[in-house]
Every structure is written in structure tokens, then in C-alpha cells.
Chain A
């Protein structure tokens, strides 16, 4: 596609529920990033994939967060046993290479945990 597509656009989850957030990067983009943006804050790095390899997951806040990109294209961010503090916008970005050129963000998924 022409841009980075994220789905769903909005998600409301009950506390304790598992959720899965999808990111479709720009075709051919090598790098894929997930960021978490709490209300009124700047985005914070969660994890980075280079093709199908997850090279950096240092930003994942707990072991309830898991991300995958099995075929080096679409990525899924999964949050298990959601907590209220997980409420945020989750942004996906893809980049043409591994140096950050051509960084493009999706519109994000707004997760609200009630």
C-alpha cells in the first residue's frame, strides 16, 4: 500500500483481556518499529524488526507485551492480560533501510483498557 496501515483504529478492552494490534508496513520496507504514546507524551520506543528478525525489544514494558513479524512484512503487537496503564496509542512505523531513512508512521491504534 501507499502508507503504513494499522488496525484496528480503536480498541476497547476489558482489564485482563488479550489484544492483538496489526501493522501493515510499506511494501519493501526493511525496518519496522512499534512505539507507545501515552496521552500528552511523546512516542516511546517498544521494539524493532529488521525483516523478520526482532533485533531490539528493550522498550517492551513487561513480558505481557509480545511482537512478531514472521514473514518480514506484517507485524502484530500482542498484549496479554491488559492493564489500565496499557491505555495508549500504539504507533507503527516502517523504514526503507536500517538507518532510519524514509521513516513513515501509521495513524496508530488507540487502546483503551476499562
Chain B
């Protein structure tokens, strides 16, 4: 069965600190996709990144970076020099490429990040 685990329920940091959000996943498929979403207090899920299972290259986008390691089934997310506006709940998610499922997402429980000034 597919499963996503985000072991950190809450993280609190001071502005400008670096912070890493952990994500571990389980799947029996060889082809799958991994996602990170941000959910601010307004409630809408904001897409951050999508990676496929064949691309293990780390990715950097501004202050955000992602470390994908198939050997440990992990897809961790790092925010460098955190800012107050980064405060939100972050979700890691997994989808499989099964036609009839259309890419439905399996979400982790989320990590609530609080960045204090």
C-alpha cells in the first residue's frame, strides 16, 4: 500500500534559520511522482514541486531545495534563510501513474512550520 510519513508534526524556527522538512514514502510501483504542497492559513493548497521517480537530481528554486533519495525512500524539503511568510503547513504527497486513478494523491499528515521574527 502507498503511504507517506511526515514524522515532524510541528517545527518552530527563528527567522533566517535553515529548516528541513522530512518526508518518507512507501510504494510498490517503480513509476511514481512526489509532490510538496504549502497550505497557508487561507486553506488553499499551493503547489511547490513535482518530481518523477526516475529523476533523482536535487532541485533548487530560490530559497527552496529538495533532496530526493530513492535508496531511503525520502524526499526532503529545505528552506534556507526562513522568513515569517514561510509559516504554513507543508504536505508531502505521492501519486502513481495508474490510468484509472488519474494521479490521485496520497498525502502525509503535514508539518506545521512556524517562523518567528
CB of A41 within 8 Å of the partner chain: yes
- Among candidates A99, A103, A107, residue contacting B43 with C-beta atoms closer than 8 Å: A107
| Extra 10 A-B pairs, beta carbons < 8 Å, given A40-B110, A99-B97, A108-B44 | A31-B102, A41-B110, A42-B4, A42-B91, A44-B107, A45-B106, A103-B35, A103-B47, A105-B45, A107-B42
Which one, A33, A40, A56, A104, contacts B100 given CB within 8 A? A56
**CB neighbors of A among B27-54 (8 A):** 33, 35, 37, 42-45, 47, 50
Residues of B within 8 A of A (CB): 4, 33, 35, 37, 42-45, 47, 50, 91, 93, 95, 97, 99-110
Interface string of A28-41 (1 = CB under 8 A from B): 00010101000011
A76 within 8 A of B: no
A43 at the interface (CB under 8 A from B): yes
Question: DSSP majority for the A interface?
Answer: strand
Is the Cβ of A48 less than 8 Å from the Cβ of B91?
no
Q: List 22 A-B contacts (CB under 8 A).
A: A31-B103, A33-B102, A33-B104, A35-B105, A42-B4, A43-B91, A45-B104, A48-B101, A50-B100, A50-B102, A55-B101, A91-B45, A93-B45, A100-B50, A100-B97, A103-B35, A103-B103, A103-B105, A104-B47, A105-B44, A105-B45, A108-B43
Given A42-B109, A99-B97, do A106 and B44 touch, yes or no (CB 8 Å)? yes
Chain A 10-59 interface residues, beta-carbon cutoff 8 Å to B: 31, 33, 35, 40-45, 48, 50, 55-56
Q: Which residues in B have their C-beta under 8 angstroms from that of A91?
A: 45
Q: Within the assembled complex, what's the spacing in Å between the Cα atoms of A50 and B101? A: 9
**Complex alpha-carbon distance, A55 and B98, angstroms:** 11
Which B residues are in CB contact (< 8 Å) with A40? 109-110
How many A residues touch the partner, as a band? 20 to 34
| CA distance in complex: A106, B45 (Å) | 8
Measured CB to CB, the nearest residue on chain A to B112 is A40
Q: Could you say which residues of chain A place their CB within 8 Å of the CB of B37?
A: 105
Select one of A42, A56, A104, A108 contacting B101, CB under 8 A: A56
A89 close to B (CB within 8 Å): yes
